[in-house]
Amino acid sequence: MASYRKPIAAIAAAAVVSVTLVACGSSSDGGKGKTTDAKGGTLYYLTKRPAEHLDPQRMYIGRDLADMNRLVYRQLVSFPVTTDKAAAVVPQADLATDTGTSSNDGKTWKFTIKDDVKWQDGKAITCEDFKYGASRTFATDVIIGGPNYILGFLDVPKGKDGLPLYDGPYKNDNAADFDKAITCDGNTITYNFSKPFPDFPLAIASLNSFGPYRKDQDQGDKSNYAVFSNGPYKLEGTWDVAKGGTFVRNPEWSDDNIRKALPDKIVFEQGLTNEIIADRLIADVGQDKTAITDRAIPPAYYTQITGAVADRATLTESPFVDYVLPNFNKMKNPKVREALKLSTNINGWITAGGGDKAYKPAQSIVNPALVGYKPNPNFSMLPAGDLAAAKQALKDSGEKLPYPIKFTYSGGTPTSDKQAAALKDGWDAAGFKVTLNPLTDTYYDIVQDPTADFDVTWGGWGADWPSIATVIPPLFDSRINLTAKSNGQDYGNYKSDTVNSMIDEAAQMGDVNDQAAKYAEIDDQLGKDVAYIPLEITLFYFLHGSDVANYISSPASNGYPELGGIGVKQ
């Protein structure tokens, strides 16, 4: 039985929001679908993976963040509903009157909240609601699992362990520190950061964690699946953790010029297998005619995607880039790493994983649509590689040949094993002697152990918002990753004072474009060190029902169906 090759744990680590997608040959309706802005009908959302959190401060899955932004959680600024790649990553005023003003080299941001915006019970959304929402992230013992960037950026004193002394609204220790860092003056909220945060609006639009939360609705952990809406829909009844839930119109919402809110009702059906979803959408009968999904068509079904069915299929780039990386604790010889890079059989990996409907070769760990992306020149010979040069590099390394390496990867499926075997073929041909070590649910627990016995491993990543600042520092800054017990996200145990110093320089820049240019320099250095080898950009090959209207999967929706614009044929 074919299945999506990454196990849940793998997806969890890479489950991020990125608003940096490129629709491959996209049109406003994703192909030959129907286009209408008529309101009404019920849209069904078929999916496999249950939402882990619906609490805005705890959500961290790209699909859920994009969906809930369109349905129930408006932000100060949000991305527009559009397929224009450039426009899709430009934040628009949403709950705020404008896109905010920054001062103090990007360390201070001010937003004014609109007067007429309301919660689902009709009460006005206030500045205090935003402040309370931000405060919840500091309760790290209760609000677990969400994006926690604000802990590092907000100008509050920190303890020896690096955590802020303010510990959230429940214990409320050192609350005065927090009150100074975020202030309310009428409807104007001011954020004071300890370092430049030039891309703060991008972060707000991408994550829901900076959004408002009503104090009287807060029950801590018990609120994990509670939804108190300020968007065009509200949750009907309660959310079933395993099966999903239904969203219906929120009468307190008024047109916000971002969301079209076309269907009357949106039903989420979770827990279905990829095969059943594909079967149902191919059959296209009954309620499945108005169904969409976030699950890629399994490669075994590609031959069925012809004729009228193909008209309902769309192919978009995902936010995710897969890569392999050498373990610097073991593979210390640069020539060996160079040989590894040159002999990485990326074409074989892609073919084994489903071909050009599943992957597109990557030229960097950075997704092409991120602000300031540049193909990494150190990987220009990929995906073909250069076997002769690889053999020579390995010979020049002075190491005894064949050079034994253990490739530990996230396996457990026939597809992942075939992909790993393709890489092994390439490396073996260059003079390595590869042992494959597939792991399933223990994958991250093992590769995050600095003492783990592997030479090469696999990783997958997507940016949290369209800035390289959410790619390179989290993955390669050894100071935030490497400890005695864990390598964090730096699975290759890469440590470079040069790169760390360049990251510091980038962090002090108050302009997004300047930062991006600096990060491109850092990426070049990472390429020279062979800190990673990019494999591919995952593609989303989705089907939808024949009565779905105006189907788009925009960059702002992370490549998933854009609930802000999709409707149902009337």
- Return residues touching another protein (CB under 8 A): 1, 8-9, 12-13, 15-16, 50, 52, 60, 140-142, 144-149, 161-163, 170-171, 218-222, 224-225, 241-243, 269, 271-273, 275-276, 279-280, 283, 285, 441-442, 444-446, 448-449, 464, 474, 480, 483, 485-486, 488-489
b/e 218-247 (16+ beta carbons within 10 angstroms → b): beeeebbbebbbbbbbbbeeebeeeebbbb
Q: How far is the CB of 7 from another protein (least distance, A)?
A: 8
Alpha-carbon distance of 184 to 191, in angstroms, equals 9
Residue 361, exposed/middle/buried by CB under 10 A (0-12, 13-18, 19+)?
A: middle
| Contact in structure between 61 and 285 (CB atoms under 8 Å) | no
Strand 432-439 relative to strand 567-568: parallel, antiparallel, unpaired? unpaired
**The two structure tokens encoding residue 164:** 């802020």
Phi, psi of 492 (to 5 degrees): -85, 5
Cβ proximity to another protein, 35 vs 486, nearer residue: 486
Question: What is the Cα–Cα distance from 292 to 521, expressed in whole angstroms?
Answer: 40
DSSP character for 287?
A: G
In angstroms, what is the minimal distance from the CB of 470 to another protein?
A: 9
Give strand pairing partners of 543.
Answer: 313
CA dihedral 240, 274, 266, 313 (to 10 degrees): 170
Location of structure tokens 């941001």: 109
Least distance from C-beta 399 to another protein, angstroms?
A: 30
Q: How far is the CB of 546 from another protein (least distance, A)?
A: 15
| Axis crossing angle, helix 512-529 with helix 497-507, rounded to the nearest 10 | 170
- Closest separation between CB of residue 288 and another protein, Å? 8
Angle at 294 between CA 290 and CA 298, to 5 degrees: 105
Opening angle at CA 429, ends 427 and 433, nearest 5: 60
User: Whole-angstrom Cα distance, residue 458 to residue 325?
Assistant: 6
Q: Is the peptide bond before 402 cis (omega within 30 degrees of 0)?
A: yes
CB-nearer residue toward another protein: 18 or 343:
18
Minimum CB separation of residue 34 from another protein in Å reads: 23
| Nearer residue to another protein within complex by CB, 16 or 512 | 16
The nearer residue to another protein, 238 or 501, going by C-beta atoms, is: 238
CA distances from 280 to 3, 274, 546 (A): 16, 10, 12
Residue 464: CB minimum distance to another protein, A: 8
**Which residue spans within 243-367 are E strands per DSSP?**
244-249, 265-269, 291-293, 313-326, 359-361
If the CB atoms of residues 164 and 201 are measured against another protein, the closer one turns out to be: 164
Closer Cβ to another protein, 15 or 394, answer by number: 15
CB 97 to another protein: min, Å: 31
Q: Measured from the CB of residue 221, what is the shortest distance to another protein in angstroms?
A: 5
Comparison of 349 and 409: residue with beta carbon closer to another protein: 409
**Which residue's CB is nearer to another protein, number 157 or number 404?**
157
Residue 155 or 449 with smaller CB distance to another protein: 449
Residue 58 or 107 with smaller CB distance to another protein? 58
Q: Find the shortest distance in angstroms from Cβ 29 to another protein.
A: 25
Distance CA 119, CA 215 (A): 12
Which H helix or E strand runs over 333? none
The 3-state DSSP class for residue 250 equals coil
Nearest approach, Cβ of residue 241 and another protein (Å)? 5
Please tell me the distance from the alpha carbon of residue 178 to that of residue 185, in angstroms, as a whole number: 15
What is the rounded CA–CA span in Å between residue 418 and residue 423? 9
Least distance in Å: CB of 126 to another protein? 21
The residue among 445 and 504 lying less far from another protein, judged by its C-beta, is: 445
Of the pair 278, 563, the CB lying nearest another protein is at 278
Q: Which helix (H) or strand (E) holds 347?
A: helix 346-353
